[in-house]
């Protein structure tokens, strides 16, 4: 297929859930895509479907982003295609929970690799190319849990806090350039069966406040193009964000401890 635009977006974790919804939102706006996800997750079908529906070019790169060389291989892949992206979406991540001392080595490593390392390396690799455009965008996928420590989600919350602070810091470094850095901090998003079950187990409040992937993606991308630094999708979570910022620390810890205890 012949490209109808020079604009390319890289989207990690793009075969399902929020990543797929973001890819669809960008394709609907005329952006060509480089989609990354694990082999065997239907990525090729997602890519070909987006090409047909939106008349864009969608390359797919199937790889395990827990492998240490994958970010570099992604860069080599886009370079070999002559692609100079103007959007980088670091969406891939994992949400393990539990009590400290009971995590497996694999779950800890997976959280660090997917939630921290991949985004950091890809931004470091692509920043020169992003700066070559008059306007370009970086979007990191944080989480509402990154705003505060969370017992029983300690590693996950800390990883998303890293993305929050990293995004704002890099955005300040790039002040005055054409590169905008945003971090999305969504609450629960209904991305798959396991997540829906976790939301249901968290109580009525989580069920009411959770978003479908397509509505979260739409708001996130709209705000990204508006160059908003911190994006909190969903009206209720915007209110909760304002409340959380003034809650006494001890009350906040008791609330989160009761919510996440026993949920993995």
State pLDDT tens for residues 74-96: 999 999 999 999 999 999 999 89
Tokens of residue 78, six digits: 């886009």
Mean residue pLDDT of the chain comes to 89
Would you tell me how many other CB atoms lie within 10 Å of the CB of residue 81?
13
Give the global pTM.
Answer: 0.88
Backbone φ and ψ for 140, nearest 5 degrees, come out as -105, 135
- Per-residue model confidence as pLDDT tens digits over 167-215: 999 999 999 999 999 999 998 887 766 655 665 555 555 556 678 999 9
- Per-residue model confidence as pLDDT tens digits over 119-132: 999 999 999 999 99
> How would residue 148 be classed by pLDDT, with cut points 50, 70 and 90?
confident
Q: Yes or no: say if 225 and 25 are a contact pair by the CB < 8 Å rule.
A: no
**CA nearest to 114, candidates 165, 150, 63, 169:** 63
pLDDT, residue 236, reads: 84
Half-sphere exposure of residue 84, counting CA atoms within 13 Å on the CB side? 11
Q: Yes or no: say if 88 and 10 are a contact pair by the CB < 8 Å rule.
A: yes
Give the chain as a 3 state SS string: CCCCCCCEEEEECCCCHHHHHHHHHHHHCCCEEEEEECCCCCHHHHHHHHHHHHCCCEEEEECCCCCCCHHHHHHHHHHHCCCCCCEEEECCCCCCCCCCCCCCHHHHHHHHHHHHHHHHHHHHHHHHHHHCCCCEEEEEECCHHHHCCCCCCHHHHHHHHHHHHHHHHHHHHCCCCCEEEEEECCCCEECCHHHHHHHHHCCHHHHHHCEEHHHHHHHHHHHHHCCCCEECCCHHHHHHHHHHCCCCHHHHHHHHHHHHCCCC
pLDDT, residue 50, reads: 98
Please state the CATH superfamily assignment of the domain spanning residues 8-260 in this structure: NAD(P)-binding Rossmann-like Domain (3.40.50.720)
Checking if the pLDDT of 253 tops 90, the result is no
């Amino acid at each position: 297929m012949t490209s109808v635009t020079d604009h390319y977006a890289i989207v990690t974790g793009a075969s399902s859930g929020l990543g797929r919804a973001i890819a669809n939102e960008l394709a609907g706006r005329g952006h060509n895509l480089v989609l990354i996800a694990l082999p065997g997750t239907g990525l090729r079908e997602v890519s070909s479907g987006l090409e047909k529906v939106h008349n864009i070019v969608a390359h797919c790169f199937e790889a395990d982003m827990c492998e240490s060389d994958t970010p570099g291989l992604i860069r080599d892949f886009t370079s070999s295609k002559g692609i100079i992206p103007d959007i980088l979406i670091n969406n891939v991540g994992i949400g393990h929970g539990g009590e400290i001392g009971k995590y497996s080595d694999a779950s800890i490593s997976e959280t660090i690799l997917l939630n921290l390392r991949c985004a950091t390396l890809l931004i470091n690799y692509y920043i020169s190319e992003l700066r070559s455009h008059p306007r370009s965008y970086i979007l990191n996928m944080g989480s509402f849990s990154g705003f505060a420590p969370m017992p029983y989600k300690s590693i996950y919350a800390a990883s998303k806090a890293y993305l929050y602070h990293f995004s704002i810091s890099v955005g300040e470094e790039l002040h005055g350039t054409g590169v905008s850095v945003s971090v999305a901090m969504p609450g629960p998003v209904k991305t798959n069966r396991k997540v829906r079950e976790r939301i249901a187990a968290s109580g009525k409040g989580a069920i009411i406040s959770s978003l479908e992937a397509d509505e979260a993606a739409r708001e996130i991308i709209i705000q990204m193009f508006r160059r908003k630094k911190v994006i909190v999708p969903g009206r209720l979570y915007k209110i909760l964000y304002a409340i959380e910022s003034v809650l006494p620390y001890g009350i906040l810890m008791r609330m989160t401890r009761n919510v996440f205890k026993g949920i993995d």
